A and B are shown apart, each in its own frame.
Chain A
């Protein structure tokens, strides 16, 4: 079955870096755009980043632009989120999500999430 499994979360000090991974199975990863979405504790959902199926197009939320980088390795069926210069406000559960396509920019399959805590 279709499955997305995030990993790499943890506790990190402000200003440090962390890389999240999302291993996918059950569908042809290289055919689909992908996203990262986060949710701060007790808060709503916030879209973070998008990458096209071939990695040629990327978009970011203003709140992470210049600090986070989304990437993918289609040979490994894995999506990544490199997070640098982390801030307390980046504390959240991070979900990877598959794009429905068609239509685009709708999240039809989600992982279980990985928690990132930024604290000294």
Chain B
């Protein structure tokens, strides 16, 4: 099973600041990594798939990068609605696995 480790666990930032989230895989997943956003009481929302492709309707302030075992999700300028928990997910191997999440909170 591929283990995804996200860091940091919590990121405390102010609106307008840049957020950089990390996801590291226990073995190479190629570019087969996705990112999701989840707000309290809501279902997750797909942001990025295959490392760098924005899903439909996702603003350009969200960008993804990386390949192999190291990936990043960048939010260029935090809006109030961006404070949430973010998960990475790999689709390289069964079972599909998620990281444990990074909470982006208001500083």
Contacts and interface: CB of A to CB of B under 8 A. Distances in A.
A79 to B, nearest CB: 15
B107 to A, nearest CB: 22
B91 A104 contact: yes
Contacts, number: 61
Main secondary structure of the interface of B (DSSP, over half): loop
Given A45-B98, A47-B98, A103-B50, A108 B55 contact: yes
Q: Contact size class for A?
A: 20 to 34
A42 to B, nearest CB: 11
Interface in A30-59: 35, 37, 44-47, 50, 59
Nearest to A100: B49
A108 B53 CA distance: 13
Size range of the chain B interface in the assembly: 20 to 34
B55 to A, nearest CB: 6
A106 B91 contact: yes
B16 interface: no
Nearest first, the 3 closest Cβ-Cβ pairs linking A and B are A105-B91, A110-B43, A47-B96
